[in-house]
Amino acid sequence: MGTKQSAPPVWRSPQLWWRVAIVLVGTLGLMTGERRLAFYTTQSNLIVVAFFAVVTYWMIREGTTDAPAPRLRGGVTLWIAVTGLVSHVILNQGANPLPGLFVTDAVTVLDNRSLFLLHYVVPAMVLVDWVVFGPHGIVRWRDGLLWLLYPVAYGAIAIVRGVAFPTVSDRFPYPFLDVEALGGGIVWALTRIVAVIVVLAAAVIALDRASGLVKRRLRLTARIPDAAAADA
């Protein structure tokens, strides 16, 4: 008579609770500020919250610590990384965001803290999840091209929307999408943004490959002492 195998200890796994934390932090950031859907920051964080909410449910239901849909997970990681990089380097011009968290005005400090969560904390948490937790080694280099579709489509739709509806609120959500202000220079501005996203996509895939390699080597190193002890 066979023995019944116990389910993996999902409830005690760091993977589950880290991903629950991502959902909670992202939700807090979205709810504590005036976040409008026209902005890429709002959209990318909504995607993160929705994706990791589904991931945690799937992990509990299936009794596994691995996240499903690794290729989609790579895209989500890229999209939120774009949020962090663009906001810090282009919009904030590399300024330190920490002083803004402690200003005296209550409304301003709440909005600054909301943006800090969405621009810095959530992207960092998702990147940590991507590097530390599996599965690894499944995404392919050409997957990065598919991941580009969302940010490119966002930019194209934002420009068309602003041109077609000049009185709409948040007409051009970001300065590098303002075709009226930039004129022909928008081509160069968008080319630079796309180039940065391409490099980020390659970096996300490279991190996945490197993490998988490190884990395989650690497992191999752990087996060698066990094999030596068995032969002794």
Q: 147 lies in which domain range?
A: 10-223
Q: What are phi and psi of 104, to 5 degrees?
A: -80, -30
Would residue 172 count as lying in a domain?
A: yes
**Is there a contact between 219 and 138 (Cβ–Cβ < 8 Å)?**
no
Give me the helices (H) in the chain, please: 14-31, 40-62, 70-85, 106-116, 122-132, 143-147, 149-164, 179-182, 185-231
What would the two tokens of residue 108 be?
Answer: 């301003």
Would residue 229 count as lying in a domain?
A: no
Q: For the segment 76-120, what is each residue's pLDDT rounded down to a tens digit? A: 999 999 999 999 999 999 999 999 999 999 999 999 999 999 999
Would residue 4 count as lying in a domain?
A: no
Q: How many domains does the chain have?
A: 1
Residue 223 has what pLDDT?
Answer: 65
Tokens 């409304």 locate to: 107
Would residue 1 count as lying in a domain?
A: no
Q: For the segment 120-147, what is each residue's pLDDT rounded down to a tens digit? A: 999 999 999 999 998 999 999 999 999 9
Element (H, E) at 39: none
DSSP string, 161-213: HHHH-TTSTTSSSSGGG-HHHHTTHHHHHHHHHHHHHHHHHHHHHHHHHHHHH
Would residue 228 count as lying in a domain?
A: no
Residue 4 has what pLDDT?
Answer: 44
